Structure 1
Amino acid sequence: MAIGAETNVKWVDGLRGLASVLVVITHIYRQFDDPVFDASMGENRPMRWDQWPFMSFAGRGRIGVTIFAFVTGYVCALKPIKLFRAGNQEAAFTSISKSAVRRFPRLMLPAAAATVVAWVLAELGMYTVLKHSDNYWLAGLAHERVGTFTGAIYELGWQICKTWVRRENNYDNNQWTMLELLQESYKIYIFLFAVAYLKPKWRMASALLMMLYEWVTKEAVFELLGFYGVFIAEVQVQPSTAAFIEAHHLACHLIAAALMFVGLYVGSYPERHWEWAEWSRNLHDFEAKILPDDPDFPRFSTGIGLTLIVTAIIIVPRLQKLLSSKYLLWLGRHSFAVYLLHMQVFKTVWTWSLYGISIKPDHLNDKGELEITRLVYPGHTWMFVTMVPVLLLTYTCAYYWALYVDPYCERLVNKLMEYVKLDTSKEQTSYLPLRPA
Structure 2
Amino acid sequence: MSAKSGNQRNIKWVEGLRGVTSVLVITTHIARALDYALFWPADAADKGPRVLQLPYLRIPFQGRIGVPIFAFLTGFVCAYKPLKLAYQQGNAPAALKSVARSAFRRPPRLVLPALIATLFSFIMSCFGAYKASTRCDSFWVRFDTPDLMPFFANVQRLFKSMLTTWTNGENLYDRHQWAMRPLLVGAFQVYVVLAATIGMRFKYRMLVHVLLFLYWLMNVEPLTETFGANLALGTLLAELAQHRPTQNFISSHHRLLTYIIAPLLLAIGGFVGSYPQEHEDWSPWAEKLHKFLVDPAGDESRGSFIVPLLSNVQRRSSSFFIQCLAVALFVSPGIQKLLSHRYLLWLGHHSFAVYLVHGTILRTVGMWIVFGITGEPWQPAGKNEDGTQQEQEWLQPRSEGHKLTAIIVFIILTYTAAWAWMRWVDTACARATQWLEKKVFDDDDGEGKAGFAEKGYSGHVNGNGIPPRLAEANRAHPPP
When normalised by structure 1's length, the TM-score is 0.92
- In 2, distance between residues paired with 1:364 and 1:276? 33
Match for 1:92: what amino acid?
A: A
Residue equivalent to 2:431 = 411
Q: How many Å apart are 1:103 and its aligned residue?
A: 1.0
In 2, distance between residues paired with 1:371 and 1:284? 34
User: Which of 349, 354, 358 does residue 338 from structure 1 map onto?
Assistant: 354
Shift of 1:390: 2.1
Instruction: Quote the Cα distance in structure 2 between the aligned partners of 1:103 and 1:226.
Output: 15
- Higher-Rg member (1/2): 2
C-alpha root-mean-square deviation of aligned residues, in Å?
2.0
1:8/1:320 contact within 8 Å kept: no
Counterpart position of 1:143 = 146
1:362 and 1:371 in contact (8 A); partners too: no
1:125 to 128, 137, 156: 128
Partner of 1:47: helix, strand, or coil?
A: coil
Q: What is the CA-CA distance between 1:373 and the residue it aligns to?
A: 5.9
Q: How many Å separate the matches in 2 of 1:100 and 1:227? A: 17
Pair 1:134 & 2:146 matched: no
Name the CA distance, whole Å, in 1 between partners of 2:279 and 2:21.
25
1:20 matched to which residue of 2? 22
Q: Report 1:264-279 matches (<5 A).
A: 264-279=270-285
Return the alpha-carbon distance in structure 2 between the equivalents of residues 160 and 363 of structure 1.
31
How has the CA–CA distance of structure 1 residues 201 and 275 changed in structure 2, closer, same or farther, with 3 Å as cutoff? farther
Q: Which residue of 2 aligns with 1:222?
A: 227
Contact persistence 2:41–2:280 (CA under 8 A): yes
Deviation track 1:367-393 (CA, whole Å, cap 9, x = no partner) reads 277987632212333211332222111
Aligned to 1:49: 51
Correspondence 1:338-417 to 2 at 5 A:
338-358=354-374, 359-363=376-380, 365=382, 367=384, 374-417=394-437
Identity value in percent: 35
- Deviation digits for residues 175-195 of structure 1 (CA, Å, limit 9, x no counterpart): 000001011111111111111
* CA shift for structure 1 position 147: 2.1
Tell whether 2:317 aligns with 1:312.
Answer: no
- SS state of the match for residue 69, structure 1? helix
Question: Whole-Å Cα distance in 1 between the matches of residues 327 and 358 of structure 2?
Answer: 30
Partner of 2:452: none
Deviation track 1:379-418 (CA, whole Å, cap 9, x = no partner) reads 3332113322221111000000011000101111122223
State the match for 1:433 in structure 2: none
Task: List per-residue Cα deviations over 1:3-46 (Å, max 9, x = no partner).
Answer: 343x6200000001111100000000001111111233333542
Gaps of 5+ in 1: 430-437
Partner of 2:202: 200
Q: Measured at CA, do residues 33 and 373 of structure 1 come closer, stay the same or move farther in structure 2, by a change above 3 Å? A: closer
CA deviation profile, 1:267-301 (whole Å, cap 9, x unmatched): 11111122332222332333332133211111111
The 3-state SS of whatever aligns with 2:26 is: helix
C-alpha separation in 2, matches of 1:4 and 1:109: 35
SS in 2 for 1:272: coil
Partners of 1:41 and 1:370 in 2: how far apart?
A: 27
Q: Structure 1: how far apart are the matches of 2:139 and 2:75?
A: 36
Give the Cα–Cα distance (whole angstroms) in 2 for the partners of residues 117 and 249 of structure 1: 47
Contact 2:378 2:395 (8 Å CA) reproduced: no
Q: Is the 8 A contact 1:220 1:296 kept in 2?
A: no
Match of 1:3 in 2: 6
Distance 2:271 2:93 in 1: 44
Q: Distance in 2 between matches of 1:177 and 1:98?
A: 23
Match of 1:95 among 98, 122, 125: 98
